[in-house]
Structure 1
């Protein structure tokens, strides 16, 4: 029986002309929605609201890789002078077995500033800034092993796979400049113990991992495109975005693909900005001298470059910058089991002037109150030695310091015993240090969480207390 049509029924088949005529008004709406979505994403990536009001916007982490000796830097122990060379007979530290002797410091300590805080002669420049420092003498770590210690300092865990402190800060606050990464590591090409996991995003979105900038010259290889390929590059980027976006939709928003897209976009935007931001020729000769960039010692000059670049990155809105140790004694670390005097002296020479210059420069530019400086290694070193010129790993008690916005300068917090063996007063853990850093940025360490594998994770796990006594 022949099919019949209902009155008024129109065939669903449309010509191309009819289709365009019917949907033309929708194209503008689609374009507007796309633009608004892009703006919303950019706004979300730019800045998130902290949990409380804070003037501090940025962190510069001066990582003292290998473990600075606390009894040779900021925690003088006169009792060691009396016991120098005498047998050391007992220890809970598994690395401190064997025929050992007490070892006095080869450096002298003097009180500095209005606060009268004693500082070793290793750090004559930082000593002049001591009234800006909150010196925490009662730090305690878990294990006397570099790989786990460095991971613990960076991620709050002895095991790999957790997000770095810089990643948590970037995740919690977002970026102040969408054309620059929120987390930058200024690297000399030496990967610390624990590997690149120290700078990883872990289970956070991949866009929060660190971007590595080189010590000298171009910060990133191939960052500066030739003028004649800029348009071609933009066309290629558009194609990549289109293909990756389609692939991402097919995987229901896979984070790795989404992050790859954002990284392409970030790399393209950085091309015009990063070379200018890190161009130190724009700085005066006096400023470069302040950081020791005129030094004839290559490693000292390189560390000065990194500290000055860190200041320029802070000015440009980068949230978290880590400065790593320069190459030198013991591969650029403070890990002197032997040759303590030469190794610590070399590393102090490399870092002392530049860090003090950074403090002075931030203050002169009105950035000190907006910036937190963290000076820390993974543990300290033993007050005793298997020889006469070396110290071993010592997590039972050591020193770190903070300076900058929200920090009560000229403060000593906590103490080790009279020989520097154990933290005995106001014992401070890595979780406490992390909680305090987040607090200074306006972030509550108990509320800064990310849901992964069925539960909420945080930087401080289920631990950590803010050290209010070092805060203003």
Structure 2
């Protein structure tokens, strides 16, 4: 759509000539950008349509939640210091710290053979999200957005909730339209978090549309003469998406329409009995994740931290479990009840795990363990009530069914109908992919 005569006349007051601008806008018709966020058909049969990633940053203590290492014999070795029980018909071992999540034992596919390349938080966190430890690369969500587009043209294909780390949502060398939309950054309370500049009352919707059409005509003219227009085209599409979001996103972010019972199940606003975490933040994240999944957002990342429990392992672990257990269970409940769990792959985990304590460890200190830790999946066609891989008797390293981050990435892409070795983007003279030059392996045993 071209700018109106009124807009062009107004522009002349800023030093532009009307005839020149008119010619510019006519030329811009030849440079219409295609909608790269349009929904795409995956090359292989997908098991899932979308991903909800529950990112537990800092290193969750898997031995006290999902990887049971009982303390036996006279010599107490490091292992699980909280009681476990077998849950559901599958008999999955889950800690008493997670009574609500335990109700979903028969939906959980637990990977106890995870391993990474480093025990440093920043590098391993970057590798978890982008496949590389040292350089900025597109995040998992951006790759999925690039490969599949969005189901809802009025919303982003990728949303990141409550994060202060751009590595979580960056598109890096992919066009910026594939980047995640952050909501609740830098520790902002989720009760007030929104999408920046999503509201604007200074113009009517029609006037906003005419204003944007004029700006876009200039952008497209500039893109015609750019040696690499892909970045500018991404900005053009991002601006179009932002305009469409103004009529859709505010209603999705408004949880006041939810019932009191729903808010209670998600623990929105509930105080904790231990620690200093804020459950209202994570409960609201889970509730928003359900709403965004229903609305067709392709990749939704939730962030909770910190699980970096060094000197107060028991206290902080109990606080983190209390803050996340019920909200995660409520999310799984709602996805299942609404028929969304089968087509939604839920992923839980952090950048690595933690070594075990002995029951009489007075120091109550733990470190980092990247050689053997736990992720779990649910929905999206995975086997429920299933454990893949194992660590040694003290949980110090994976010894069977080992799964690297590259393998996890390849498996998530496979669940969505994408081939990790074919999903590439040409940049700086070569093709890049999420799983890197080393590649990954789809863990087919995880699927039903």
Q: Residues of 2 paired with 1:448 and 1:221: CA distance?
A: 31
Aligned to 2:258: 283
Q: Please give the per-residue CA displacement for 1:276-329, whole angstroms capped at 9, x wherever unaligned.
A: 12221222222222212252347112211111111111111110000011xxxx
Q: Is residue 2:286 matched to residue 1:303?
A: no
Q: Residues of 1 paired with 2:220 and 2:72: CA distance?
A: 64
Aligned to 1:155: 130
Question: SS of the counterpart of 2:248?
Answer: helix
After TM superposition, the structure 1 = structure 2 runs for residues 254-293 of structure 1, keeping only pairs within 5 Å, are 254-293=229-268
Q: Which runs of 5+ in 1 are unaligned?
A: 1-29, 85-101, 326-331
Q: Residues of 1 paired with 2:254 and 2:96: CA distance?
A: 33
Question: SS of the counterpart of 2:418?
Answer: coil
User: How far is the alpha carbon of 1:121 from its aligned partner?
Assistant: 1.3
User: Which protein is bigger by CA-based radius of gyration?
Assistant: 1
Q: Residues of 1 paired with 2:172 and 2:123: CA distance?
A: 16
Q: CA RMSD in A?
A: 2.3
User: How far is the alpha carbon of 1:239 from its aligned partner?
Assistant: 2.6
Number of residue pairs aligned between Structure 1 and Structure 2: 412
1:344 corresponds, among 308, 312, 317, to 317
Aligned to 1:65: 57
Q: Please give the per-residue CA displacement for 1:152-187, whole angstroms capped at 9, x wherever unaligned.
A: 110111122211000111111111111111111011
Residue 267 to residue 80, structure 1, CA distance change in 2 (3 Å): farther
Q: Please give the per-residue CA displacement for 1:127-173, whole angstroms capped at 9, x wherever unaligned.
A: 11010000000101100100011011101111222110001111111
Question: SS of the counterpart of 1:50?
Answer: coil
Q: Please give the per-residue CA displacement for 1:11-32, whole angstroms capped at 9, x wherever unaligned.
A: xxxxxxxxxxxxxxxxxxx99x
Aligned to 2:82: 107
Residue 260 to residue 425, structure 1, CA distance change in 2 (3 Å): same
Q: Report if aligned partners of 1:80, 1:103 keep a CA contact under 8 Å in 2.
A: no
Q: Is residue 2:327 matched to residue 1:354?
A: yes
Aligned to 1:379: 352
TM-score normalised per structure 2: 0.87
Question: SS of the counterpart of 2:152?
Answer: coil
Q: Report if aligned partners of 1:224, 1:272 keep a CA contact under 8 Å in 2.
A: no
Q: Residues of 2 paired with 1:320 and 1:209: CA distance?
A: 11
After TM superposition, the structure 1 = structure 2 runs for residues 40-189 of structure 1, keeping only pairs within 5 Å, are 41-42=34-35, 44-79=36-71, 82-84=74-76, 103-187=78-162
Higher deviation after alignment, 390-399 or 258-267: 258-267
Question: SS of the counterpart of 1:344?
Answer: helix
After TM superposition, the structure 1 = structure 2 runs for residues 189-338 of structure 1, keeping only pairs within 5 Å, are 190-191=163-164, 195-214=165-184, 215-226=190-201, 228-297=203-272, 299-325=278-304, 332-338=305-311
Q: Which has the higher helix share?
A: 1
User: How far is the alpha carbon of 1:226 from its aligned partner?
Assistant: 1.6
Q: Report if aligned partners of 1:83, 1:103 keep a CA contact under 8 Å in 2.
A: no
Question: SS of the counterpart of 1:62?
Answer: strand
Q: Residues of 2 paired with 1:339 and 1:449: CA distance?
A: 44
Q: Residues of 2 paired with 1:356 and 1:169: CA distance?
A: 25
Aligned to 2:5: none
Residue 34 to residue 245, structure 1, CA distance change in 2 (3 Å): closer
Q: Is residue 2:445 matched to residue 1:452?
A: no
Question: SS of the counterpart of 2:199?
Answer: coil
Q: Please give the per-residue CA displacement for 1:14-51, whole angstroms capped at 9, x wherever unaligned.
A: xxxxxxxxxxxxxxxx99x959x86x823x52111211
Q: Report if aligned partners of 2:310, 2:365 keep a CA contact under 8 Å in 1.
A: yes
Residue 80 to residue 400, structure 1, CA distance change in 2 (3 Å): farther
Question: SS of the counterpart of 2:278?
Answer: helix
Residue 364 to residue 65, structure 1, CA distance change in 2 (3 Å): same
User: How far is the alpha carbon of 1:82 from its aligned partner?
Assistant: 4.9
Question: SS of the counterpart of 1:45?
Answer: coil
Q: Residues of 1 paired with 2:39 and 2:224: CA distance?
A: 26
Q: Which runs of 5+ in 2 are unaligned?
A: 1-24, 185-189
Aligned to 1:4: none
User: How far is the alpha carbon of 1:383 from its aligned partner?
Assistant: 2.0
